[in-house]
């Protein structure tokens, strides 16, 4: 028999130990969260720092003469060349002239072409314009090219540096907001490249994906949860849906290539096929989320409706579905966000091509945002690396917005009972 005092003392001794253990455990948790947040911040800051530059682009002020001869020959770049020659009359040597022409983007001519296409009465006029510089000049202004290196080991010659410094001093060369990044399609020239093409490609793909996966997913979930008898077949289907959710996405891409492209002869690189493949991938996510949402509706609501004499369909449509809808939508948006970030299946069906035109329908060739990031990350030009980061920023903004709207949706429409 132990005396009561000793029991109490023992407990007291043990208590200190217990509290220490609890403190330690909490500490582990805080360390875990802290490291996760640190990683996230490092990633975001790194991307932000690298990508911020892409939102500005060096522009050069030029006085161009849109003379008829050049316009007729479609020699738009020639207009810019002659304008440069006028601005630097003392540059005579061929090699130096070529370097001089290299200051302005080789895509600037297309901008003039577009301008004249919009308003043909510009022909014959003289205009002072801010045109994008080449990516090398851009890099100099952004400080990404090391001037202390020897001339041979950097992409910009001493002569070019002299011109650049001169133009900056005259305020004819400066960083401006990079509108083209948001309004242009892909390009070989980093200064001309924009993400609108990829954005539209993603938009069309996701639209197709949503139109396919949402109704099919919701109907499948409703049927399985509310109507289907519980037997071996439904068990089998359930297991397979869960398996599908775990299948690597590239497998869906292969399936899309084999079935949609080779059997159904649908167009290659089209957002239509991309959306179909993404729908296959998103379906299990949506079905699982929707079933969970339906299961969360208390059975008493169903009984109440049945008890009054509502049919199964009425019970589901009038009572169960409205209560389950926020959960279903949340699952769908999360599935869509997943689809937005998906790259691998799109590679398989040819949405990885270099496409300059901005797609205008689901049948046009297109890329998607993550694929565009992958393409730019591969490009050798230094200026593409900051565009890669900028495109990642845009993608992340969309993802965060989608997930945030899912949360808000759930908070607003979730009903308590």
Partner 1 sequence: MDITIHTEVSKKVAMNTMERKTHKVTAHGVNVYYNDKKALNNVTLNVPSGEVTALIGPSGCGKSTFLRCLNRMNDVIDGCRVEGDIELDGEDIYAKGVDVVHLRSRVGIVFQKPNPFPKSIYDNVAYGPKIHGLTSSRAEMDEIVMTSLERAGLLNEVRDRLDAPGTSLSGGQQQRLCIARAIAVQPEVILMDEPCSALDPIATACIEELIEELKTNYTIIMVTHSMQQAARVSQFTAFFHMGELVEYGETTEIFTRPRDERTKAYVTGRIG
Give the CA angle between residues 112, 113, 116 to the nearest 5°. Answer: 85
Please give the backbone phi and psi of residue 24, each rounded to the nearest 5 degrees, phi first. Answer: -60, -45
Q: Which of 89, 143, 229, 380 binds partner 1 (CB under 8 A)?
A: 229
Nearer to partner 1 (CB atom), residue 4 or residue 229:
229
Length of the chain: 417
CB of 397 to partner 1, least distance (A): 35
Pairing of strands 126-132, 173-177: unpaired
Please, which residues bridge with residue 176 across strands? Answer: 57
CB of 328 to partner 1, least distance (A): 16
367: nearest Cα among 379, 349, 380: 349
Q: Which of 304, 397, 400, 408 binds partner 1 (CB under 8 A)?
A: 304
Those residues whose C-beta lies under 8 Å from the C-beta of residue 157, and which sit 6 or more positions away, are 99, 151
Q: Is 311 in the site for partner 1 (CB under 8 A)?
A: yes
Nearer to partner 1 (CB atom), residue 301 or residue 402:
301
d(CA 15, CA 34): 28
Give the CA angle between residues 389, 393, 396 to the nearest 5°. Answer: 130
Q: Is 232 in the site for partner 1 (CB under 8 A)?
A: no
Nearer to partner 1 (CB atom), residue 138 or residue 226:
226
Options 14-22, 54-62, 316-324, 361-369: segment touching partner 1 (CB under 8 A): 316-324
Options 84-92, 295-303, 370-378, 398-406: segment touching partner 1 (CB under 8 A): 295-303
Q: Is 118 in the site for partner 1 (CB under 8 A)?
A: no
Options 94-102, 212-220, 235-243, 305-313: segment touching partner 1 (CB under 8 A): 305-313
Number of residues in contact with partner 1, rule: CB under 8 A?
22
- 318-357: contacts with partner 1 (CB under 8 A): 318-319, 323
Those residues whose C-beta lies under 8 Å from the C-beta of residue 354, and which sit 6 or more positions away, are 186, 188, 375
Q: Is 310 in the site for partner 1 (CB under 8 A)?
A: yes
Q: Is 380 in the site for partner 1 (CB under 8 A)?
A: no
d(CA 51, CA 42): 14
CB of 307 to partner 1, least distance (A): 4
d(CA 210, CA 203): 10
276: nearest Cα among 209, 362, 328: 209
Nearer to partner 1 (CB atom), residue 165 or residue 303:
303
Nearer to partner 1 (CB atom), residue 264 or residue 417:
417
The residue ranges that bind partner 1 (CB under 8 A) are 229-230, 298, 300-311, 314, 318-319, 323, 415-417
């Amino acid at each position: 028999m132990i005396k009561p005092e000793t029991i109490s003392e023992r407990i007291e001794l043990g208590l200190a130990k217990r509290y220490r253990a609890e403190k330690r455990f909490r500490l582990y948790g805080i360390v875990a969260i802290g490291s996760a947040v640190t990683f996230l911040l490092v990633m975001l800051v790194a991307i932000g720092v690298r990508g911020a530059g892409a939102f500005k682009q060096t522009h050069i002020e030029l006085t161009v003469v849109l003379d008829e001869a050049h316009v007729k020959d479609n020699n738009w770049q020639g207009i810019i060349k002659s304008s440069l020659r006028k601005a630097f009359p003392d540059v005579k040597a061929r090699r130096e002239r070529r370097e001089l022409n290299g200051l302005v983007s080789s895509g600037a001519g297309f901008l003039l072409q577009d301008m004249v296409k919009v308003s043909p009465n510009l022909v014959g006029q003289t205009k002072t314009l801010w045109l994008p510089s080449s990516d090398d000049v851009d890099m100099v202004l952004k400080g990404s090219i090391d001037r202390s290196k020897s001339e041979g080991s950097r992409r910009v010659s001493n002569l070019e540096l002299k011109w650049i410094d001169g133009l900056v001093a005259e305020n004819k060369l400066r960083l401006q907001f990079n509108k083209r990044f948001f309004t242009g399609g892909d390009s070989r020239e980093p200064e001309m490249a924009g993400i609108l093409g990829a954005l539209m490609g993603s938009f069309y793909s996701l639209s197709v994906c949503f139109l396919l996966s949402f109704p099919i997913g919701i109907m499948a979930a409703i049927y399985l949860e509310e109507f289907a008898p519980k037997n071996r077949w439904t068990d089998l289907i359930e297991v397979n849906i869960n398996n599908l959710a775990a299948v690597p996405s590239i497998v869906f891409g292969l399936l899309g290539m084999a079935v949609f492209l080779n059997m159904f002869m649908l167009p290659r690189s089209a957002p239509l096929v991309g959306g179909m493949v993404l729908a296959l991938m998103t379906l299990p996510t949506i079905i699982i989320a929707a079933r969970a949402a339906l299961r969360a509706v208390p059975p008493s609501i169903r009984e109440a409706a049945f008890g009054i004499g509502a049919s199964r369909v009425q019970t589901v449509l009038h009572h169960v579905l409205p209560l389950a809808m926020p959960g279903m939508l949340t699952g769908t948006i999360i599935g869509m966000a997943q689809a937005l970030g998906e790259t691998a299946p799109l590679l398989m069906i040819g949405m990885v091509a270099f496409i300059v035109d901005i797609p205008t329908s689901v049948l046009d060739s297109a890329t998607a945002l993550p694929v565009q990031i992958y393409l730019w990350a591969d490009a050798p030009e230094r200026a593409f690396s900051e565009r890669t980061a900028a495109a990642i920023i845009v993608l992340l903004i969309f993802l965060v917005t989608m997930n945030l709207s899912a949360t808000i949706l759930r908070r607003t429409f979730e009903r308590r009972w």
